[in-house]
Copies of this chain bind each other. A is one copy, B any other.
Amino acid sequence: MAGVSPSTVSRILNGTAVVSDDKRAAVDNAIASLGFVPNPVARGLAGGRTMSIGVVTQALDSPFYGGALRGIEEELGRAGYSPLFVSGRWSAAHEARCIEALRLRHVDGIIVLTGRLSDAALSECAQHLPVVVTGRRLQAPQLASLLFDDFEGARLATHHLLALGHRRIAFISGDSRHPDAKERRRGYRAALEAAGLAYDPGLVLPGDFTEDSGRDAVERLIDSREPFTAIFAANDQMAFGAALALHRRKRQVPADVSLVGYDDLAGAVYSVPPLTTVHHPANELGQLAAVAMLKLLAGETPQVALPAPRLIVRESTRLLSGG
């Protein structure tokens, strides 16, 4: 003890009030020599702030969201907050349970990465504590939302194929319950129509964002005998599945068919051939979500702008030859 009351120590630690310089020095010394570190559990009980932020992701081992988790951890850590990761498993009911559990643990805020929860449920949640949600646009007090421009990304990807001379461009869509899946399909269609091409349902294959569904879509496409020279898959995982199916069916990428993905997963650079795709910076998404949370916590209204989608041309696309 440095001759002062616990209250004073607490105030110094939290910067809650003005303290005279000599007392502050005495306390700082004592803290340093004792190696004192405040107990976050006690702080949480007494002050109501646990310095932890709940993060509900869909799967801890998602190749896409993994980068976002890293970004969140980095950014939150800088401010002294710890993330509490839980997985929602793509189920609204499960997400709701996760949020309940997080609130029970008295997290100071919650970040929801995409998710199936209704806008209403999220807004309700934000009445109790700060909420940041990605993958949708939503207005509510104490809530911030971050949304990538998937329409534009898909438009870019499709336009790239069109610019290479492709006209018969198949599209493997994502799970239509996802807003991003719908936006990407809209972008595909818009690019086609801007080029004066009709949207041909025979070239649009349903998928669900998994490799399996990409592979199956290509199998069906080939079996349908619908002519095509290029494929745009609504995410990289489906593009990987598509690439395998093309290989099985003896179509060379890009000699016989050009292939474009979406997300720019770590594996895209190393697929054979390296995949042309739309860069979707998960890591930055996580960082920006964390920054937004920090601002909400500080009582500010965050104004976050996500980076625009960027086409990354690699080796899975090429000029249509002999077309």
Contacts and interface: CB of A to CB of B under 8 A. Distances in A.
A63 interface: yes
Interface in A141-191: none
Interface in A234-281: 240-241, 243-244, 247, 266-267, 269-274
A272 B270 contact: no
Number of copies: 2
Tier of interface size on chain A: 35 or more
A70 B63 contact: no
Interface string A50-86: 1000000001111100110110010000000011111
A16 interface: no
A4 interface: no
Contact of A41 (B60, B105, B247): B105
A269 to B, nearest CB: 7
A121 interface: no
Given A41-B50, A44-B41, A82 B70 contact: no
B60 A66 contact: yes
Nearest to A269: B211
Given A39-B104, A270-B241, A73 B87 contact: yes
A45 interface: yes
Contact of A39 (B69, B106, B272): B106
A82 B50 CA distance: 15
A92 interface: no
B61 A82 contact: no
Contacts of A106: 39-41
Contact of A105 (B66, B70, B82, B86): B82
Nearest to A44: B41
Interface of A: 37, 39-42, 44-45, 50, 59-63, 66-67, 69-70, 73, 82-87, 101, 104-106, 211, 215, 240-241, 243-244, 247, 266-267, 269-274
